Amino acid sequence: MKSILFAALVLVFASVQTSNAIARELAEFQAEADQYYAAGNYKKAFKGYFKLAKIGDHYSQYWVANMYANGEGKRADLENAYAWSVLAAESGRQKLVRNSEELFSRNVDKDGARKKAEKLKRKYGKQALEEKAKLIAKRDAGRRAGSCTGSRLTCRGTYGYDAPLSQGIGSGPILGSGER
């Protein structure tokens, strides 16, 4: 019983340390983009914020939105500004929500802005990133469990049976037979 408790504590400690390391790296990348912005190097600042914005960093999504709105580092584009501000507003922070509402009100083509925001949300929104993370975790768990052979010709359990990877989903004996 003590060994199980110890193992659980080690796992919790390791995950906290990993989270702290990731948070430090994120802060470093944000600080680098902030420095570029403060120096007036908007193209490099935009590039740094954009990379972080695509992985769900609300701070960077806010800056990408404002840089699009002001034409800093990119051509001014209120539709893109609004779309990125919608993602930032997913954080629930009132400042980011108000910014999104203000950017929406500045858009001439409100339908176009909504469509662009929905498209971006499907790709980089909180739900989309969570689903992508789950798929990656599932794939990595399968690899750690040894479900794929070294040659990558066969993966056990990926499709519910042993299938060559070239067959893909829906072409094996279970799904390919028309049964669903």
Domains and CATH numbers, the chain: 2-129 (1.25.40.10), 140-180 (no CATH)
- State residue 140's pLDDT score: 80
- State residue 139's pLDDT score: 84
158, 163, 166, 167: CA torsion to nearest 10 = -100
Give residue-wise pLDDT tens across range 120-145.
999 999 999 999 888 888 888 777 77
Q: How confident is the model at residue 5 (pLDDT cuts 50, 70, 90)?
A: very low
Give residue-wise pLDDT tens across range 49-84.
999 999 999 999 999 999 999 999 999 999 999 999
Please report the beta strands in 107-162, taking only residues with DSSP state E, as ranges in sequence order.
154-155
The token duo for 160 is 């519910």
Tell me the C-alpha distance between 37 and 5, whole Å. Answer: 48
Instruction: Give the other-Cβ count within 10 Å of 50's Cβ.
Output: 19
Which residues touch 46 (CB under 8 Å, ≥6 apart)? 64, 67, 72, 73, 74
- State residue 70's pLDDT score: 98
Reference 45, options 59, 33, 57; nearest CA is 33
- State residue 141's pLDDT score: 79
The token duo for 43 is 């193209």
Q: How confident is the model at residue 23 (pLDDT cuts 50, 70, 90)?
A: confident
Tell me the C-alpha distance between 152 and 149, whole Å. Answer: 5
- State residue 172's pLDDT score: 40
Give residue-wise pLDDT tens across range 80-124.
999 999 999 999 999 999 999 999 999 999 999 999 999 999 999
Reference 98, options 73, 65, 137, 132; nearest CA is 65
pTM exceeding the 0.95 threshold for the entire prediction = no
Q: Which element (helix H / strand E) includes 56?
A: none
- State residue 150's pLDDT score: 57
Please report the beta strands in the chain, taking only residues with DSSP state E, as ranges in sequence order.
154-155, 163-164
pLDDT over 60 at 38, yes or no = yes
Q: How confident is the model at residue 42 (pLDDT cuts 50, 70, 90)?
A: very high
Q: How confident is the model at residue 152 (pLDDT cuts 50, 70, 90)?
A: low
